[in-house]
């Protein structure tokens, strides 16, 4: 009845210690719970019932015996008294014979079985109706009671243990009183009834009760098990069906037997499954249609775009022959067509992600080479905006990634950094541990509000709509980067503060399909955590000292714990204020240890890495 046959389907359950096993089984198995509850309950019921039954039986049996014994004892004592009264006690010589006769008389009144013993005690000694009985069978308290009331002829009663010389002690009842004999203090007479038979009866009854109880308990438990199994097995079947359904076997159905509640459960499950299947099929169809539509649209757009593009090129090349207006128009046409084209391809890429059609093609890749390729690819852009790009690598790093996608991510981040970096140097930091690699792109440009760390990944989001765009991305670059990273099971986090630049960090698992747990790089830039050179791996002879990096030092090393509200409260943060900066610097030193906390807080605010999605 236990769950032993059921495989453990919960892979998250960690290895337990041995003493946890029964607890686990109890928590996991409904039949076990039902069976053990039934067992415990029936044991309690049987014990209570047995005790009650035994008590009632004992009272009944003993009462009857008690009444009979009472009558017999009374009769015997009265007989003895009347015989004694009838005697003419002149001579003390024959009193013992007389007593012996009386004893014989009254004990003869009963049969040998279920009979009673009589003991007479007097100054003359002890007379017993049978040599078998020991005088210690008379309970001491009864004897004291009777001796202290030698004028009282009432019959007293006390339970006792009947001791026979043959060595068997049985429970019994003793009656005692004083026989009035003139001239003496009277003879104490005790009538002792062994209740061997009654005890035997009760013992048999007890045995019967115990055996019946045990059998009943066993049967009840067994029945409970059967019932639980009957109820649970369809529930388990339903659970398995639900699991199969969840794992994508939409065709699976439960077998329906009979018309009871469980059959209805199966029917409902099947109904749910078919409805789900219908919905999912519909959604799949919809997504297919949607994807098809996007592909078709893109194809239809591309042919005229090609024509327009070639026409624009022709015009552009001939622009020197045009008048200034037409010439400028040709230039604009050419430039904007480039933008249109990249927008179109970005839209297509996003729609591919939305349709779930993006597929990862991971391969072992040298991250250093990849970064160098990307930096090489953006060199002309960096030159034109007079930006220095520095790579800080701890040594060879490789990971199983889709290099085309990660190159695109890095290119997006780097172009973004160049655009917002205000010609200050851009640092690319690499780091790795056993499970993850991280690449961070740090710029020292305008930065953004902490609260915007999530928004920057929104589609078509603009940090500042009034700001002039020099490079003119599509507004989809960071969204695509986010999707590319997610496809890897990685994280893309943003950190930024107004006036202190921004850092974008990509963290990727080293093995495709691994789950990320932490990033080898902090989200908050290291140069803000400690004003030291980035690390020992910083290129020797790098012309940039930490001070260069903080050339806006007055607010560059400011309070790292200035969060959204704080930053928002300082609209003039971009304008260095010496006094405020000094205050902030001490603030920074004081709260140095807290920065790590904010790292985590920032991470969570950034992109919720606990939920890699």
CA distance linking residue 261 with residue 216, whole number of Å? 29
- Strands 169-179 and 156-163 come out as antiparallel
Reported as half-sphere exposure (CB side, CA atoms, 13 A), residue 129 has a value of 22
CA distance linking residue 397 with residue 168, whole number of Å? 94
Short-list 197, 185, 176, CA closest to 74: 176
Residue 113: partners with Cβ closer than 8 Å, 6 or more residues away:
197
Question: Which residue, 221 or 365, is less far from another protein as judged by CB?
Answer: 365
305 binds another protein (CB under 8 A): yes
Shortest Cβ 225–another protein spacing (Å): 59
379 binds another protein (CB under 8 A): no
> Contact region for another protein (CB under 8 A) — 8-16, 175-183, 252-260, 305-313?
305-313
Question: Which residue, 68 or 310, is less far from another protein as judged by CB?
Answer: 310
Question: Binding-site residue total for another protein (CB under 8 A)?
Answer: 15
Shortest Cβ 311–another protein spacing (Å): 6
Shortest Cβ 301–another protein spacing (Å): 8
Q: Quick one: angle between helices 261-317 and 196-246, nearest 10?
A: 20
Phi and psi at 128, nearest 5°, equal -125, 145
By the 10 Å C-beta count (0-12 exposed, 13-18 middle, 19+ buried), 435 is classed as middle
Question: Which residue, 69 or 312, is less far from another protein as judged by CB?
Answer: 312
List the x/- string, 482-501, binding to another protein by CB under 8 A: --------------------
> Contact region for another protein (CB under 8 A) — 21-29, 91-99, 301-309, 444-452?
301-309
> Contact region for another protein (CB under 8 A) — 278-286, 302-310, 382-390, 501-509?
302-310
CA distance linking residue 296 with residue 283, whole number of Å? 19
Shortest Cβ 583–another protein spacing (Å): 53
Residue 282: partners with Cβ closer than 8 Å, 6 or more residues away:
none
130 binds another protein (CB under 8 A): no
**Touching another protein, residues 46-75 (CB under 8 A):** none
Q: Whose structure tokens read 């649970």?
A: 232
Reported as half-sphere exposure (CB side, CA atoms, 13 A), residue 116 has a value of 31
User: What value does the CA radius of gyration of the chain take, rounded to a whole number of Å?
Assistant: 51
Question: Which residue, 474 or 554, is less far from another protein as judged by CB?
Answer: 474
> Contact region for another protein (CB under 8 A) — 35-43, 48-56, 115-123, 304-312?
304-312
> Contact region for another protein (CB under 8 A) — 11-19, 114-122, 306-314, 541-549?
306-314
Indicate which single residue of 4, 11, 182, 304 sits in contact with another protein (rule: CB under 8 A): 304
Cβ distance 481 to 412 under 8 Å?
yes
Angle CA 72–74–80, to nearest 5:
100
Shortest Cβ 472–another protein spacing (Å): 18
Tokens of 519: 């990033």
CA distance linking residue 252 with residue 517, whole number of Å? 36
Q: Whose structure tokens read 């790089």?
A: 521
Q: What are the strands of the beta sheet with 117-122, ordered from one edge?
A: 125-128, 117-122, 187-194, 169-179, 156-163
Question: Which residue, 206 or 298, is less far from another protein as judged by CB?
Answer: 298
Question: Which residue, 265 or 355, is less far from another protein as judged by CB?
Answer: 355
Cβ distance 209 to 53 under 8 Å?
yes
Cβ distance 108 to 129 under 8 Å?
no
Shortest Cβ 352–another protein spacing (Å): 9
Indicate which single residue of 37, 307, 518, 530 sits in contact with another protein (rule: CB under 8 A): 307
Indicate which single residue of 78, 157, 244, 309 sits in contact with another protein (rule: CB under 8 A): 309
Indicate which single residue of 298, 329, 368, 398 sits in contact with another protein (rule: CB under 8 A): 298
Shortest Cβ 340–another protein spacing (Å): 9
CA distance linking residue 143 with residue 140, whole number of Å? 5
Residues 274, 276, 282, 288: what is their CA dihedral angle, to the nearest 10 degrees?
-120
Shortest Cβ 513–another protein spacing (Å): 22
Indicate which single residue of 148, 166, 247, 303 sits in contact with another protein (rule: CB under 8 A): 303
Short-list 245, 265, 205, 204, CA closest to 52: 205
CA distance linking residue 107 with residue 98, whole number of Å? 14
> Contact region for another protein (CB under 8 A) — 139-147, 244-252, 263-271, 298-306?
298-306
By the 10 Å C-beta count (0-12 exposed, 13-18 middle, 19+ buried), 352 is classed as middle
**Touching another protein, residues 334-353 (CB under 8 A):** 341
Question: Which residue, 303 or 610, is less far from another protein as judged by CB?
Answer: 303
Shortest Cβ 376–another protein spacing (Å): 11
Cβ distance 411 to 374 under 8 Å?
yes
Shortest Cβ 378–another protein spacing (Å): 14
Shortest Cβ 357–another protein spacing (Å): 10
Residue 287: partners with Cβ closer than 8 Å, 6 or more residues away:
355, 356
302 binds another protein (CB under 8 A): yes
> Contact region for another protein (CB under 8 A) — 10-18, 74-82, 299-307, 413-421?
299-307
List the x/- string, 311-330, binding to another protein by CB under 8 A: x-xx----------------
> Contact region for another protein (CB under 8 A) — 4-12, 211-219, 251-259, 300-308?
300-308
310 binds another protein (CB under 8 A): yes
Q: Which residues bind another protein (CB under 8 A)?
A: 295, 298-299, 302-307, 309-311, 313-314, 341
């Amino acid at each position: 009845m236990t769950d032993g046959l059921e495989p453990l389907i919960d892979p998250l359950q960690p290895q337990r210690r041995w003493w946890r096993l029964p607890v686990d089984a109890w928590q996991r198995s409904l039949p076990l719970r039902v069976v053990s509850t039934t067992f415990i309950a029936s044991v309690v019921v049987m014990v209570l019932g047995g005790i009650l039954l035994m008590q009632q039986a004992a009272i009944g049996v003993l009462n009857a015996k008690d009444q009979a014994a009472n009558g017999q004892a009374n009769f015997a004592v009265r007989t003895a008294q009347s015989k004694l009264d009838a005697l003419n006690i002149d001579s003390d010589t024959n009193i013992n014979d007389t007593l012996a006769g009386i004893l014989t008389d009254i004990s003869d009144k009963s049969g040998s079985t279920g009979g009673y013993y009589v003991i007479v005690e007097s100054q003359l000694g002890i007379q017993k109706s049978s040599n078998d009985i020991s005088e210690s069978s008379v309970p001491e308290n009864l004897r004291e009671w009777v001796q202290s009331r030698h004028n009282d002829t009432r019959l007293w009663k006390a339970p006792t243990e009947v001791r026979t010389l043959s060595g068997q002690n049985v429970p019994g009842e003793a009656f005692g009183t004083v026989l009035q004999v003139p001239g003496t203090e009277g003879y104490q007479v005790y009538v002792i009834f062994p209740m061997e038979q009654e005890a035997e009866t009760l013992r048999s009854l007890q045995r019967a009760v115990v055996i019946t109880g045990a059998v009943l308990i066993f049967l009840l438990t067994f029945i409970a098990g059967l019932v639980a199994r009957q109820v649970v097995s369809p529930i388990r079947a339903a659970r398995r069906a639900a699991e199969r359904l969840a794992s994508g076997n939409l065709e699976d159905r439960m077998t329906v037997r009979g018309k009871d509640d469980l059959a209805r459960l199966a029917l409902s499950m099947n109904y749910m499954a078919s409805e789900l299947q219908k919905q999912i099929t519909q959604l799949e169809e919809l997504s297919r249609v949607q994807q098809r539509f996007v592909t078709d649209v893109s194809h239809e757009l591309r042919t005229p775009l090609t024509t327009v593009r070639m026409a624009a090129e022709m015009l552009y090349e001939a622009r020197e022959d045009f008048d200034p207006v037409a010439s400028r128009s040709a230039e604009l046409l050419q430039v904007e067509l480039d933008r249109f084209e990249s927008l179109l391809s970005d839209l297509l890429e996003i729609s591919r992600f939305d349709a779930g059609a993006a597929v990862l093609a991971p391969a072992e890749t040298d991250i250093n080479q990849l970064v160098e390729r990307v930096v090489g690819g953006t060199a002309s852009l960096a030159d034109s905006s007079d930006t220095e790009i520095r790579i800080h690598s701890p040594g060879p790093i490789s990971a199983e990634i889709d290099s085309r996608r990660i190159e695109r991510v890095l290119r997006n981040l780097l172009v973004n950094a160049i655009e917002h970096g205000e010609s200050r140097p851009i640092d690319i930091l690499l780091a790795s541990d056993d499970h993850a690699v991280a690449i961070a792109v740090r710029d020292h440009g305008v930065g953004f509000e902490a609260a915007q760390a999530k928004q920057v990944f929104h589609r078509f989001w603009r940090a500042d709509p009034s700001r002039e765009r020099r490079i003119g991305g599509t507004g989809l670059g960071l969204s695509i980067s986010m999707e590319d990273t997610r496809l890897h099971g990685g994280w893309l986090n943003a950190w930024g503060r107004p006036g202190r630049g921004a850092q974008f960090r990509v963290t990727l698992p080293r093995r495709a399909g691994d789950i990320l747990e932490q990033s080898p790089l902090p989200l908050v830039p290291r140069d803000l955590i400690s004003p030291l050179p980035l690390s020992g791996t910083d290129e020797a002879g790098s012309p940039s000292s930490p001070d260069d990096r903080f050339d806006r030092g007055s607010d560059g090393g400011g309070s790292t714990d200035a969060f959204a509200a704080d930053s928002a409260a300082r609209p003039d943060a971009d304008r260095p204020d010496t006094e405020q900066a000094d205050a902030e610097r001490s603030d920074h030193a004081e709260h140095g240890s807290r920065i790590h906390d904010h790292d985590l807080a920032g991470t969570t605010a950034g992109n919720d890495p606990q939920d890699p999605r």
